[in-house]
Amino acid sequence: DGVTEVLAHHSENLQGKFVEIPCSEDYDSHKRFEGCTPRKCGRGVTDAVITREEAARIRRIAERGLSLGGSDGGASILDLHSGALSLGKHFVNLYRYFGDKIQDIFTEEDFALYRDVRRRIQQRIAQAFGISSSSMYLTKPTFFSRINNTEAKTTHDEYWHPHVDKVTYGSFDYTSLLYLSDYTEDFGGGRFVFMDAGSNKTIEPRAGRVSFFTSGSENLHRVEKVRWGTRYAITISFTCNPDHGIGDPVL
């Protein structure tokens, strides 16, 4: 699929890498928020914001939540904000479905760590793009994903199609991914691919690695099919429009 350049190898420990690229026109069809809506666009990756030990703790939150359900196909979703959890070919609301039993699955410490990690990623994105982190709002969907090589059963399982977040979701201005497992050790395939004209730029997941980018067509991307093992990540999305903001999850 064109020339492949690796932006971040799984074996590297990157303090920070940032590539600036021209912004697409996608932001012009939405209300602009000065000091937040991207005027500088690009993509970055860092292993210096979240430790591998913190990534392991965050992954355990995902594993406990996803153990309650899981998709029949290859891609399972857990959204602690809305409560959406993959179950078979459908989704259930975790909080309604399990009620008070949720207190036995998650702790206040889990949610405190989740908030802290989200805040640090938000600050890193703001720093990279020269905006104030207080002008950014968490938006939906922000979710854990667990992907294996099980055959897709519904369109929700087909995670590998190229897409643009701003086009798909509208509210997204900045997208980030925190990887919770290691490429080549925990799974094969499953690399993140930016699809540029004439070339592909890949990021190889590594537990604790954060990749982030502006959400417009300048960052068309896809995820390779996972060939073996299990890939865990969390997608954390930000908007400049306070009307599309969501709160942190609470027990």
The catalytic residue positions are 231
Hey, what are 243's tokens?
Answer: 């009307």
- Tallying the residues shown for the chain, one arrives at 251
CA pair distance 202, 144, nearest whole angstrom:
21
Task: Assess contact for 219 and 167: CB atoms under 8 A.
Answer: no
Nearest to 172 by CA among 159, 181, 160, 163: 163
**Which residues have CB under 8 Å from 222's CB, separation 6+?**
160, 161, 162, 163, 193, 195
Among residues 21, 17, 26, 16, which one has the least CA distance to residue 40? 21
Cα separation of 60 and 37, whole Å?
A: 34
Q: Cβ of 208: how many Cβ atoms within 10 Å?
A: 23
Which amino acid is located at 168 in the chain?
T
CA trace torsion 104, 106, 108, 110 (10° rounding): 150
- Do 146 and 62 meet the contact criterion of CB atoms below 8 Å apart? yes
